[in-house]
Structure 1
Amino acid sequence: MTGLPRFETVARLRPVDLVVPGSEVAGVAPYVAVQAEVAGTGPVTLELTSGDTRLVGTYDDGLALAVTAGGRTTRHRSRRAARPEGPLEAVALTLTGTHATVLGRERGVWTARGRVDLGGRVDTRDDTWLAGLRAGTDGPVGEVRAGGFGQLGLRDLRLVTHADGTAYRDGAEALLTATSAGPGFFDTAHTSVWGLDPERLVLRHRGDLFFRRHDRPGVFGDHATHLVRDGDTWLVATSTWGDFDRAARGATVGVTLAETTTDVTRGRHVLDTRPLALPTTGLRSAGVWDPHLVRDGDTWLVAYVSARRFFVFHPVLAGGPDLDTLTLRAAADRRRATEGPTLARLGGRWHLLASDGREGRSGQRARYPVLDLDLREVGTLDAPYHSNIPWPTLLPVREGGDELLLVGFDGTRYGGPLIGYGTHGDVVVARGLLPDDAPTTGVGGAR
Structure 2
Amino acid sequence: MFPEFKVVRRQRPVTITVESSTFSRPAANAAIEAVCDGPVSLSFTSGGDVLTGVYDGRRVKLSVATGSRRTSHVSRRHGRVGRGVARFALTLTGTMLTAMAYKDDGWVARAQVDLTEVGIEPRKESWLAGLTAGHEGSAGEVRSGAFGQLGLRDIRVVTYADGSPFHEDDGTLLLTATSAGPGFFPTAHTSVWALDPVTYDLVHRGALYFRRDDLVYGDHATHLVRDGDEWLVATSTWGGFKAPDKTDPSKPWSPVGVTIAHSRADLTRGEHVLDSTPLVLPTESPESPERRHSRSVGVWDPHLLRRDGEWLVGYVSAKKYFDFHPVLAGGPSLDALSLRAARTDRTATEGTTLVPLGGTVVVGASDGRDNPRHVRARYPIFDLDLNEVAELRSAYVSNLPWPTLIPLGDEWLHVAFDGTPYGGRLPGYGTHGEVVLSRSTRGRSV
Q: Does structure 1 residue 320 correspond to structure 2 residue 331?
A: yes
SS class of match (1:139): strand
Distance 2:255 2:139 in 1: 44
Partner of 2:432: 424
Percent identity between the two aligned chains: 55
Q: Does structure 1 residue 104 correspond to structure 2 residue 101?
A: yes
SS class of match (1:130): helix
TM superposition shift of 1:283 = 2.2
Question: Which of 387, 392, 401 does residue 398 from structure 2 map onto?
Answer: 387
Q: 1:124 to 1:64 in 2, by over 3 A?
A: same
TM superposition shift of 1:23 = 6.0
How do residues 266-277 of structure 1 correspond to structure 2 at under 5 angstroms?
Answer: 266-277=269-280
In the alignment, is the contact (CA less than 8 A) between 1:24 and 1:148 conserved in 2? no
Q: Does structure 1 residue 54 correspond to structure 2 residue 50?
A: yes
SS class of match (2:395): coil
Amino acid across the alignment from 1:173: T
Amino acid across the alignment from 1:395: I
Question: Which of 132, 135, 138 does residue 133 from structure 2 map onto?
Answer: 135
Corresponding pairs, count = 429
Amino acid across the alignment from 2:109: A
Distance 1:218 1:184 in 2: 20
TM superposition shift of 1:249 = 3.4
**Which deviates more, 197-206 or 114-123?**
114-123
Partner of 2:41: 45
Distance 2:115 2:139 in 1: 27
In the alignment, is the contact (CA less than 8 A) between 1:27 and 1:132 conserved in 2? no
Unaligned runs of 5+ in 1: 440-447
Q: 1:438 to 1:224 in 2, by over 3 A?
A: closer
**Which deviates more, 189-198 or 78-87?**
78-87
SS class of match (2:239): coil
Amino acid across the alignment from 2:364: L
Q: CA RMSD in A?
A: 1.3
Cα deviation digits, residues 314-345 of structure 1 (max 9, x gap): 00000001101001111111111100000002
Amino acid across the alignment from 1:257: I
Unaligned runs of 5+ in 2: 246-250, 285-292
Distance 1:251 1:46 in 2: 32
TM superposition shift of 1:159 = 0.7
Partner of 1:115: 112
Question: Which of 402, 414, 419 does residue 406 from structure 1 map onto?
Answer: 414
Q: Does structure 1 residue 84 correspond to structure 2 residue 81?
A: yes
How do residues 168-317 of structure 1 correspond to structure 2 at under 5 angstroms?
Answer: 168-170=166-168, 171-213=170-212, 216-246=213-243, 247=245, 248-281=251-284, 282-317=293-328
In the alignment, is the contact (CA less than 8 A) between 1:13 and 1:426 conserved in 2? yes
SS class of match (1:387): coil
TM superposition shift of 1:251 = 3.3
In the alignment, is the contact (CA less than 8 A) between 1:4 and 1:434 conserved in 2? no
Distance 1:33 1:298 in 2: 45
TM superposition shift of 1:108 = 6.3
TM superposition shift of 1:85 = 5.2
In the alignment, is the contact (CA less than 8 A) between 2:241 and 2:253 conserved in 1? no
Partner of 2:14: 16
TM superposition shift of 1:421 = 1.9
In the alignment, is the contact (CA less than 8 A) between 1:190 and 1:221 conserved in 2? yes
Distance 2:225 2:21 in 1: 25
SS class of match (1:262): coil
SS class of match (1:175): strand
In the alignment, is the contact (CA less than 8 A) between 1:187 and 1:221 conserved in 2? yes
SS class of match (1:119): helix
TM superposition shift of 1:349 = 1.7
Q: Does structure 1 residue 356 correspond to structure 2 residue 364?
A: no
Distance 2:394 2:26 in 1: 40
Q: 1:119 to 1:69 in 2, by over 3 A?
A: same
Distance 1:86 1:431 in 2: 44
Q: 1:23 to 1:193 in 2, by over 3 A?
A: farther
Question: Which of 321, 332, 351 does residue 340 from structure 1 map onto?
Answer: 351
Moved beyond 2 Å, runs of 4+: 21-27, 247-251
Distance 2:159 2:10 in 1: 23
TM superposition shift of 1:56 = 0.3
How do residues 147-158 of structure 1 correspond to structure 2 at under 5 angstroms?
Answer: 147-158=145-156
In the alignment, is the contact (CA less than 8 A) between 2:349 and 2:365 conserved in 1? yes
In the alignment, is the contact (CA less than 8 A) between 1:47 and 1:54 conserved in 2? yes
Cα deviation digits, residues 177-207 of structure 1 (max 9, x gap): 0000000011100100001111101000000
Question: Which of 59, 63, 74 does residue 60 from structure 2 map onto?
Answer: 63
